[in-house]
Amino acid sequence: MTRLLTSDIEKIVERMALHEKELQVLTGNGMVTIAADAAGVSVRSLFPWMQGMRVGIVPVTTGLGIINGFSAAIEGILDFMGIDCFVTEQTDVAGMIEAVNNGAQQLFMADDVTCSLLDLKTSLSADNSICTGKGFAAALAMKSGSLKDKVVSVLGVGPVGCAAIEYFLSKGAKVAVYDKDADRLEALQGKDGVIICQSRHAALALGQHYFEATTASDTITLADMSADTFVAAPGMPLGITQEAFEQYQANIIHDTLEIGVASMVTCLMAEKAAFMQKHQQFAS
């Protein structure tokens, strides 16, 4: 997981409405609809669960410490989704206690390794990397119409890329994958619908839908793009070269936190709804 810089996130709160419009233009849908699709449920079914949320966002000092503006950015995204939330004054364990004492039903916390939304009633949690993968995959699918029998080229098969692969396969797509880490590629060997490639060029040559989930800054160049190429790029830093981004911005879905955080909410609430339903059945 790449650690974000303040400069990556400082405009998130003021740009939320614009970001929403950009997503509408790019994919035909807003952030919550994309995130609900990532969770495999409708916005309507999630609505009551989202209304019942109260998220305590706890700044975490461990490791490299606080990122200025990180908690405020999370608060801005949740607020935009209509979710009741607050940032604790205290950090770490004291912050968790403060959140619970202030009625939090969920805790949002991130260190340098894990970024998680935890539901206190069910102990279920949503992981940022996995939800980011699903959220951007859903956005790419919406941008593209049906992905059935199409090839999606996936660069980077860490947790984000792998979550996206599962989404694409579930939609009947094939995936052409490349990662410079041979062990990660090896782990996908023999999986149905997965084509292992030996270079990024080989992977990109097989499809017109790209999923960029690496930590490199130049994996997709102008030469790899055309008017028919669609890209979802959750990777940080952005894996698309500046000139390719400038020319094909209308075909590229990219943000630093928004889709991932929205998908954490929807995935957690979808799982919670299923969990509660199952437990009610056992209780009755």
Q: The dihedral of CA 259, 261, 267, 272: what is its sign?
A: negative
Task: Report if residue 96 touches ligand PYL, rule: CB under 6 A.
Answer: no
Contact status, residue 218 vs residue 35, Cβ threshold 8 Å: no
Stretch that binds ligand PYL, among 64-72, 164-172, 179-187, 243-251 (CB under 6 A): 64-72
CB closer to ligand PYL, 75 vs 224: 75
CA distance 282 to 284: 6
CA distance 155 to 212: 5
Shortest distance in whole angstroms from residue 46 CB to ligand PYL = 22
Shortest distance in whole angstroms from residue 68 CB to ligand PYL = 8
Q: Which of 27, 35, 46, 70 touches ligand PYL (CB under 6 A)?
A: 70
Shortest distance in whole angstroms from residue 8 CB to ligand PYL = 8
Contact status, residue 159 vs residue 127, Cβ threshold 8 Å: yes
Q: Which residues pair with 212 in a beta bridge?
A: 155
Task: Report if residue 94 touches ligand PYL, rule: CB under 6 A.
Answer: no
> What count of other Cβ atoms lies within 10 Å of the Cβ of residue 105?
18
Task: Report if residue 24 touches ligand PYL, rule: CB under 6 A.
Answer: no
Shortest distance in whole angstroms from residue 178 CB to ligand PYL = 21
The footprint of ligand PYL on residues 140-199 (CB under 6 A) is none
| Rg of the chain taking only CA atoms, in angstroms | 19
Q: Per the structure block, which two tokens stand in for 284? A: 């009755």
Task: Report if residue 3 touches ligand PYL, rule: CB under 6 A.
Answer: yes
Say how many CA atoms lie within 13 Å of 271 toward its Cβ. 19
Parallel/antiparallel/unpaired status of strands 125-127 and 115-119: antiparallel
Binding-residue total with ligand PYL (CB under 6 A): 17
Task: Report if residue 67 touches ligand PYL, rule: CB under 6 A.
Answer: yes
Q: Where are the beta strands (DSSP E) in 7-162?
A: 54-57, 84-87, 106-110, 115-119, 125-127, 151-155
Q: Which amino acid, one-letter code, is at 215?
A: T
Q: Which residues pair with 195 in a beta bridge?
A: 176
Shortest distance in whole angstroms from residue 29 CB to ligand PYL = 22
Task: Report if residue 111 touches ligand PYL, rule: CB under 6 A.
Answer: yes
Shortest distance in whole angstroms from residue 237 CB to ligand PYL = 11
Task: Report if residue 98 touches ligand PYL, rule: CB under 6 A.
Answer: no
Q: Which of 128, 219, 263, 266 touches ligand PYL (CB under 6 A)?
A: 128
Q: Which of 23, 31, 115, 220 touches ligand PYL (CB under 6 A)?
A: 115
The footprint of ligand PYL on residues 189-208 (CB under 6 A) is none
The footprint of ligand PYL on residues 201-260 (CB under 6 A) is 236, 257
Shortest distance in whole angstroms from residue 222 CB to ligand PYL = 26
Biggest CA-to-CA distance, the chain: 61
CA distance 225 to 241: 11
CA distance 190 to 217: 29
- Interface with ligand PYL by CB under 6 A: which residues? 1-4, 59-60, 66-67, 70-71, 110-112, 115, 128, 236, 257
